[in-house]
Homo-oligomer: A and B are copies of this chain.
Amino acid sequence: MSETEPEVNRQFLLAARPKGLVKESDFEYRESPLPEIGPGEVLIRTTRISLDPSMRGQMENRADYVAALQIGDVMRAGGTGTVTQSNHPDLPVGATVYGTLGMQDYAVSDGKNPPVRPYDASVEPEQALGVLGNTGMTAYFGLLDLGEPKSGDTVVISGAAGATGSVAGQIAKIKGCKVIGMAGTDEKCKWLTEELGFDEAINYKTEDVAARLDALCPDGINIYFDNVGGEILDICLERIAMNARVVICGGISRYNATGPIPGPKNYFNLVFRRARMEGFIVIDYVSRFPEAIAEMKAWIDQGQIKTNATVIDGFENLPKALIKLFEGANTGKMMVNPT
C-alpha cells in the first residue's frame, strides 16, 4: 500500500464564499503533511468523494443544520474510505467506512468527529456513497416518511435522474405509484423510463412541463418530491391533488442564484387542496439507517432498484465535478475517484 500512498495529503480548502455559480477559484488546493492520529483515532484514506447540491449552502454558510464552514477550512464532503491506521477498537485497519471525510486524501476521525460508519466491504463504494448512503437514505425517508405513498398515487419527481430523485422514483414504483420524472436531457429521460421503470419522463428543458403534467396527471399530483424549487415547484403546486404531500428535498435551482429568489406563488393551493409542504434533513434519521439500508439492499438484490453513478477520476477534478453537478452533467450519484 505504501507504494501507491501519496507522500502528502491533498486537500481543497474553501477559499471564497461563492457568488452566483460556484467557480474553481472558490477553492484553494493545498498539500499538507499526512496527519498523525491520537488515542482513539483512525486515519482514513478516501476512496470516493461525494459531490452534493447541499455543498453550495455550506460554502455560503446558509445551511444552519451543520457547523459553519470557515474560509480556509477543508471543504466538507461525504466520502468513502479505508482505515489505514487505527487506535479505535471498532474501526480496525482495512475497515471500509463512510462519512464526512472532506475533500482530501486522508481524514482523521474518532468515529464521531467527523462522523464515520463502517460498511460491508462487499459493497461497492459507489453504492455505499449513493443508494446506501446519504442520497439513498434521503430518497427513502423523504418519500416514505414525508410522502406517505399509497398504491395508485401519482408521484412527480424533479431532478429525477439525480442520486436522490432516481431512487425516490423507484421506491415509489415499488409502492405501486404512477411515477413521472423530470430531467434535463433526453438521455436521462430515457434512462428513467427504460432502465428504472418510471412511467413517464419529461425533459424540462425542451418540453412544456405544465402541459405534459396536465396530460399525465388528470387527477392531480398526490406527491411532489422536489429537488429543484423555482418555477417547477410552482407548476407542480398548481396541480396538486387533495391532501397532497409536497416533499421539499432540495432546491438546486436556488443554490447558485444571486439576489432574491422568488417564493412559490402557488403556495396557497395548500389551503384549497388541504395539502402540506414539508422539509427534512436526512441526518435526523441516522438512527433508522440500518433498517433502511437492509430494505434497500433487498430491493437491489431483487433488481427492484437500479443505480448509476457518474465517477470522475482525479483528485484535481473535485471543484470541476461540483460545478458539473450544478450543470446537471451527472446521471445518478456524482463522485470523484481521487486516486
Q: Which A residues form the contact surface with B (CB < 8 A)? A: 62-65, 229, 234, 248-251, 254, 260-281, 284
Residue in chain B with minimal CB distance to A250: B271
Given the known inter-chain contacts A263-B264, A263-B265, please indicate yes or no for A270 contacting B275, CB distance below 8 A: no
A-B contact pairs, 14 of them (CB 8 A): A65-B272, A229-B268, A262-B262, A263-B263, A263-B264, A263-B265, A263-B267, A264-B267, A270-B279, A271-B281, A273-B279, A274-B281, A275-B279, A278-B278
Docked-complex contact A276 and B276, CB < 8 angstroms: yes
Distance from A119 Cβ to chain B, minimum over Cβ atoms (Å):
26
Q: How many angstroms between the C-alpha atoms of A249 and B262 in the bound complex?
A: 22
Chain B nearest Cβ from A199, distance in angstroms: 26
Identical copies in the complex? 2
Q: A274 touching B263 by the CB < 8 A rule?
A: no
Asked if B284 and A271 sit within 8 Å, CB to CB, the answer is no
In angstroms, Cα B249 to Cα A274, docked, is 10
Chain B residue numbers with a CB within 8 Å of A263 are 234, 262-267
Q: How far is the CB of A224 from chain B (nearest CB, A)?
A: 13
Please determine whether A265 and B274 come into contact, CB atoms closer than 8 angstroms: no
